Structure 1
């Protein structure tokens, strides 16, 4: 008898007339908003302009969504191009299916374009938004809860996730499973806290805060992936995402060590964002025109949290 468990929503979509409002999409939107908000605070604390993070996110987010979907469709192609499958379902991103690896990879391409247009160094921008990205992932994982997907093995734990749904092939799933969505969400919150703390303590710069986020996330993803029972490709007994975590962790660690030796510390505030100087000059001109005086301040760009 099941004495305690986490219930699943009976549905993940509400129809407002003919318009479907999907919880999965709202979770992603909330995550993006949190990432931009926190990233902007940290960027301004480093000496950057307040709109820079959002301007670059306009490029990074669409690229990230496309990359995340491409990774999912490529690695789970049998769900869309196998016998009896409908290839057009590959475009139904609102039904779930985003691979974080593809989202980060192609999102970085979009961020690079946006950073070049804005005239700021991409590593510095990535350091500012790193904990926000982790929080965005924490929010996004709740979309899996609404969709009743990507859960783990059966469990009798009191925080098990109750699943009751009918698969497309007619199979009924009814039981209590490991809430891997919750584990990953909480882990990502912990990653954000870790990056903010480490960044304040050691003043990480030149992309090292972002590398720390990547390393911390991949460690968690590896053990959470071990609990999942959804269909996945296996190589030498490990799920594909476990191997991806290992490779990405190794790359982030190498970057962290090499860059830390070559370029210790953090970028100078006056070197990261030309727009900040334009804003400052505009404000000073406005104050002069109004007869105001600017008081000297000692600004310490410690990353905001």
Structure 2
């Protein structure tokens, strides 16, 4: 008997009358809200307009959800299309099953469409939203906890995850397992802070902050995949997601190095967001006007002081002459 463990929720859905409220969906919604909030703050700080990130997210999020589900269904097709399986279950996204690789890939397509419509560069948008995506993943992994899925190998660690559920084939899983959802959630929070720090320290631009997020995430995903025991395709002894992590990591690092040499630094604020340019121009005008007014005031004040200085000797001379006239002669 284990002395300590992390309990799993007895259920992941609450019914509000006929309406099911699913924890998995709430975790995703919370993650999207966090990503848009943090991305907007970073975008505005770089010189962009306030609502640009949210407007582009309207395109990126649906594309990302579709891409994530497609990746899962394609790579785990046996769960839906093998004999005895129900193909319609492929549409039950609320039961879990989103592949981050497909979500990022197709989400990038949606973001590209949104960026084209707003006239902003996709790399700059990706840099602004990168740490928010990592935090969104951290939130989304708690949906796996509610669904009691994607756990790791059996363990005796005090932070092991207690799983007790009835599987689709009627068997029961009961035991203490590695809480891989928690490992990945913590790792994603660390990745978000890493990107925030590196971006502030090195002024990453032109997509490099996003590439750093991708590279850092894949490192953690590789060792977390090693712990997982859910069904997966293997190639040369490694799970498919391990190979994907390796390929994506190499691509992200190559992008960091190449773009860092060709386009160091960060985009200029006036090249990021056309909607923010009137605001920037207004701010610059206010600064210039304030500077001119201050300079003019300084000139006027200096002129008055000079005039007063010139007047003092004259007044002094007049007073001296009057004193001489009043002085008695000897």
TM range (shorter): over 0.9
**Which structure carries more relative contact order (alpha carbon 8 Å, separation 6+)?**
1
**Aligned equivalent of 1:299:** none
Give the alignment of 1:51-200 within 5 angstroms: 51-200=51-200
Question: More helix by proportion, 1 or 2?
Answer: 2
**Aligned equivalent of 1:5:** 5
Give 3-state SS (helix, strand or coil) of 1:141's partner.
helix
Give the alignment of 1:27-42 within 5 angstroms: 27-42=27-42
Whether contact under 8 Å (2:5, 2:161) holds in the other structure is yes
- Any idea what the Cα deviations from partners look like across 1:163-184, whole Å, max 9, x if unmatched? 0000010110000000000000
Give the alignment of 1:236-251 within 5 angstroms: 236-251=236-251
Partner Cα separation in structure 1 for residue 160 and residue 50 of structure 2: 42
CA 1:282–1:86 in 2, change beyond 3 Å: closer, same or farther? farther
Partner Cα separation in structure 2 for residue 189 and residue 131 of structure 1: 9
Q: CA deviation at 1:10?
A: 0.1
Give 3-state SS (helix, strand or coil) of 2:173's partner.
strand
Partner Cα separation in structure 2 for residue 295 and residue 67 of structure 1: 51
CA 1:37–1:295 in 2, change beyond 3 Å: closer, same or farther? farther
- Any idea what the Cα deviations from partners look like across 1:39-85, whole Å, max 9, x if unmatched? 00000000000101001000000000000000000000000001100
CA 1:233–1:284 in 2, change beyond 3 Å: closer, same or farther? same
**Aligned equivalent of 1:21:** 21
**Aligned equivalent of 1:303:** none
Partner Cα separation in structure 2 for residue 19 and residue 222 of structure 1: 38
Q: CA deviation at 1:283?
A: 8.6
Scaled by the length of structure 2, what TM-score is found? 0.86
Greater gyration radius: 2
Partner Cα separation in structure 2 for residue 247 and residue 160 of structure 1: 31
- Any idea what the Cα deviations from partners look like across 1:162-219, whole Å, max 9, x if unmatched? 0000001011000000000000000000000000000000000000000000000000
Scaled by the length of structure 1, what TM-score is found? 0.93
Whether contact under 8 Å (2:134, 2:213) holds in the other structure is yes
Give 3-state SS (helix, strand or coil) of 2:231's partner.
coil
Partner Cα separation in structure 1 for residue 162 and residue 282 of structure 2: 57
Q: CA deviation at 1:277?
A: 1.5
- Any idea what the Cα deviations from partners look like across 1:247-282, whole Å, max 9, x if unmatched? 000011111100000000000011110000134568
Partner Cα separation in structure 1 for residue 213 and residue 145 of structure 2: 24
Q: CA deviation at 1:294?
A: 7.3
Give 3-state SS (helix, strand or coil) of 1:88's partner.
helix
Question: RMSD in angstroms over aligned alpha carbons?
Answer: 1.6
Partner Cα separation in structure 1 for residue 165 and residue 27 of structure 2: 21
Partner Cα separation in structure 1 for residue 283 and residue 272 of structure 2: 19
**Aligned equivalent of 1:210:** 210
CA 1:243–1:295 in 2, change beyond 3 Å: closer, same or farther? farther
- Which structure 2 segments of 5+ residues have no match? 292-330
Partner Cα separation in structure 1 for residue 289 and residue 147 of structure 2: 54
CA 1:174–1:112 in 2, change beyond 3 Å: closer, same or farther? same
Partner Cα separation in structure 2 for residue 294 and residue 280 of structure 1: 14
